[in-house]
């Protein structure tokens, strides 16, 4: 697999434009689940090669790209997979997200995240959007559309140590269910941070998050949101 992306700032503004190429080739005959009647997958649902060209528009006013304490970043992404540039099937993926950070007190930062993803066309099942939350197993809750809202609070109780708490919820809907009928999946937890590189403003740490299927730990380098 390969993921390539380039971003260019528009003048001296906080706006950026970007282009990307994403390529994935699953070269394994034993992994074709479309031959298993229990999977309910068609051959197109398990196309083995995905090659997509995409565009990004981004606005970024964060004070730091690693562990922000103020400002916000928002982006609109569109990626087009087509046989003309190597994809087995034709489909499109879209994403819109906003991450915001507000210093409500000297040592207290409140952050919020809204993230929506969608696909159309003959999309392989492994390229479907999924609920991306700490505490929720990756690719567990998938469908044609997903929406996630999450908030996090960070308290820097010393110049180099901090604790965080977070909670979020998401839904997946489209092919199997409507938005109103979709299950709301929750994830919440807490963790700590240590400022490992003060000149870069980079913090690292460990989170413990709990979701509908139990809890797990996450090693964090920089911001937990991507």
Taking the C-alpha atoms of residue 109 and residue 155, their distance in angstroms, rounded to an integer, is 7
Q: What is the pLDDT along the chain (226 residues), one digit of tens a residue?
A: 999 999 999 999 999 999 999 999 886 555 555 555 555 665 555 657 899 999 999 999 999 999 999 999 999 999 999 999 999 899 999 999 999 999 998 899 999 999 999 999 999 888 999 999 999 999 999 999 999 999 999 999 999 999 999 999 999 999 889 999 999 999 999 999 999 999 999 999 999 999 999 999 999 999 999 8
Residue 87 φ/ψ, nearest 5 degrees: -85, 145
Taking the C-alpha atoms of residue 134 and residue 205, their distance in angstroms, rounded to an integer, is 14
Confidence at residue 43, expressed as pLDDT on a 0 to 100 scale: 57
In order of their start, the domains of the chain are 2-221 (2.40.160.50)
- What the block records as the tokens of 17 is 């434009």
Confidence at residue 147, expressed as pLDDT on a 0 to 100 scale: 98
Confidence at residue 64, expressed as pLDDT on a 0 to 100 scale: 94
Q: Is the pTM of this model over 0.85?
A: yes
Confidence at residue 200, expressed as pLDDT on a 0 to 100 scale: 92
Taking the C-alpha atoms of residue 222 and residue 88, their distance in angstroms, rounded to an integer, is 36
Confidence at residue 29, expressed as pLDDT on a 0 to 100 scale: 57
Taking the C-alpha atoms of residue 71 and residue 63, their distance in angstroms, rounded to an integer, is 6
Q: What is the CA radius of gyration of the chain?
A: 19
């Amino acid at each position: 697999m390969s993921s390539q992306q380039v971003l260019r700032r528009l003048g001296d503004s906080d706006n950026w434009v970007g282009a990307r190429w994403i390529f994935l080739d699953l070269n394994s005959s034993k992994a074709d689940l479309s031959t298993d009647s229990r999977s309910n997958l068609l051959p197109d649902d398990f196309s083995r090669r995905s090659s997509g060209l995409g565009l990004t528009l981004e606005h970024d006013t964060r004070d730091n790209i690693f562990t922000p304490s103020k400002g916000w970043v928002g982006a609109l992404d569109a990626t087009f997979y087509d046989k003309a540039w190597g994809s087995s099937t034709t489909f499109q993926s879209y994403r819109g997200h906003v991450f915001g950070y507000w210093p409500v007190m000297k040592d207290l930062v409140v952050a919020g995240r809204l993230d929506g993803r969608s696909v159309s066309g003959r999309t392989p099942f492994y390229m479907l959007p999924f609920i991306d939350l700490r505490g929720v197993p990756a690719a567990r809750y998938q469908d044609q559309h997903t929406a996630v809202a999450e908030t996090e609070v960070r308290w820097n109780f010393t110049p180099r140590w901090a604790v965080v708490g977070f909670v979020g919820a998401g839904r997946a809907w489209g092919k199997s269910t409507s938005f109103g009928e979709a299950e709301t999946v929750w994830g919440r937890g807490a963790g700590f941070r240590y400022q490992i590189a003060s000149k870069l403003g980079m913090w690292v740490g460990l989170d413990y998050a709990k979701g509908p299927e139990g809890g797990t730990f996450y090693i964090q380098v920089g911001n937990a949101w991507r």
